[in-house]
Amino acid sequence: MHTEHPLLSKELIRQLENEIPTLTLEIRALYQKLDQKLNLKGALVPITFGFETETLGSYTPAGEGIEEQFHFSLLFAGYMDAVKITREDRTDLFLHEYAHYMQYNMEIPKEHTWKPGKHGSAWKYCCSLIGAAPSEYYRFNKGREKHDYKKELRNPWSDPNAALRDIRRREREYQNSRNNTVRFSVGDVITHPDFGEGTVTDVTRLESSVRLTIQFADRIRKIDQKWLLRSAYKKPQ
Ligand SMILES: [Zn+2]
């Protein structure tokens, strides 16, 4: 695998790629345990890795011309300090995708099929069996929380406002987690469309954003990570 990435140094990419064998073993060991408990074969499914910044992982069922696979972004799954994700959150990411695998490969009891969708009630039921956070979107430290499966698995149609509140909360969580997921680390060299090349000297994670302190040729500037990512996508180097 040879990868170029507009925001990552060659060295960071190389280090993350070096983690693939260890990560693969860790995920397989976790899935083997679950397989034994559930009489499934998830540990035999190929695992691939990439450098996605917008998706953490995915499970793709076999389809016409499509190979079944788990896929994870090394930016979230990797061990590197730059990744800044707790062990629990990393494990939860692996469990989240295994729950998707379960959805396709297990019989789901009728009472848990009332809400359709990728992250519907069947998926949440699968989460409850393996201890995965029953939440569609990634949030820091979610892996450490106790999950209220009783509440998550209850059919809320008797209270339409509850469903609406749930959607709003999810949208908020999604925006916040998108905006405050740290994508840079101290020492990273970045290219800004207006200020040119600079070195990250400080990374501060705020509730719904990440503030980068960057030493440019002329002076130090504080820049919201969101804007840097956005401009980088518009003007890749
Ligand atoms: Zn998912």
Distance 217 CA to ligand 1 centre (A): 42
Angle at 16 between CA 10 and CA 19, to 5 degrees: 145
Q: Which residue from 229, 167, 220, 203 is spatially nearest to 83, judged by alpha carbons?
A: 203
**Same domain flag for 144 and 224:** no
**Same domain flag for 166 and 215:** no
Distance 216 CA to ligand 1 centre (A): 39
Contacts with 141 (C-beta within 8 Å, 6 or more apart), sequence order: 86, 88, 89
Distance 134 CA to ligand 1 centre (A): 9
Residue 2 lies in a domain: no
Per the structure, the count of domains in the chain is 2
**Same domain flag for 78 and 195:** no
Residue 184 lies in a domain: no
Q: For each of the chain's 237 residues, which pLDDT tens digit applies? A: 455 666 778 888 888 899 999 999 999 999 999 999 999 999 999 999 998 877 889 999 998 888 999 999 888 777 655 556 778 888 999 999 999 999 999 999 988 888 888 999 999 999 999 999 998 876 666 666 778 887 777 765 555 566 566 666 777 777 777 777 888 889 988 888 888 899 999 998 887 788 999 999 999 999 888 887 776 544 334
Residue 1 lies in a domain: no
**Same domain flag for 227 and 131:** no
The pLDDT of residue 237 is 40
Q: Please give the residue range of the domain that contains residue 120.
A: 10-179
**Same domain flag for 72 and 149:** yes
**Same domain flag for 119 and 207:** no
**Rounded to an integer, what distance in angstroms lies between the CA atom of residue 117 and that of residue 120?**
5
Residue 59 lies in a domain: yes
**Rounded to an integer, what distance in angstroms lies between the CA atom of residue 11 and that of residue 191?**
16
Residue with tokens 């990439």: 50
Distance 77 CA to ligand 1 centre (A): 15
**Rounded to an integer, what distance in angstroms lies between the CA atom of residue 6 and that of residue 184?**
12
**Same domain flag for 121 and 15:** yes
Give whole-number Cα distances, 73 to 36, 52, 53, 134, 224, in Å.
Answer: 26, 5, 7, 20, 23
Residues 214-223 pLDDT 10s:
999 999 999 8
Last residue of a domain, one of 140, 160, 179: 179
Residues 78-109 pLDDT 10s:
765 555 677 888 899 999 999 999 999 999 99
